[in-house]
Amino acid sequence: MYPYEALASKYPHINILYRVMPTHLPGLNVNDDIYISEHESNVRKYEVLQEEIAHYETSVGDIVAGDTKDKRKQEKKARSIAMERAVPLDDLIYCYFHDIWTVEDIADYCNVEVKYLYKAIDNYRTKYGPIFRYKDYLIDMRNSINIKEVKK
């Protein structure tokens, strides 16, 4: 089972439909239906599904146009949630301490594209700053990712 299929199985009440979609819109959430472009790779479908589920859980109304501050805020929030779910800090810690070093290998481990991995890392930097504590770890994302275990 692909990760996006495993993710979809956690939301049996949502209908996930694969359709031809405009290139600028790889996914769309309408009520209990999520539309995903059928032309996307399995990895990209996983990324899109994460975001559309986050929209399903947090967004209100039609925000596709992004023409108001509130709509842009809802879009940003859903993307942030999706990235944190697709590339969780626990997975980055696992990779760091298990010699999974290259961005390609980390992206593969998280089942995301390299470009998405970089966006997720930028999302963490924006949310927490370049250096932050998470559980029993000090995470430094200034130039690369450095993680040190710290005792309480």
CA distance 92 to 87: 7
* Partners of residue 18 on adjacent β-strands: 36
pLDDT in tens, 58-67: 867 776 766 7
At 148, the pLDDT band (50, 70, 90 cuts) reads very high
* CATH numeric code, 1-86: 1.10.10.2910
Q: Residue ranges of the domains in the chain? A: 1-86, 88-152
What's residue 74's pLDDT? 85
Specify the 3-state DSSP secondary structure of 34.
strand
Checking phi first, is residue 137 left (phi over 0); if not, alpha (psi -120 to 50) or beta? beta
What's residue 104's pLDDT? 96
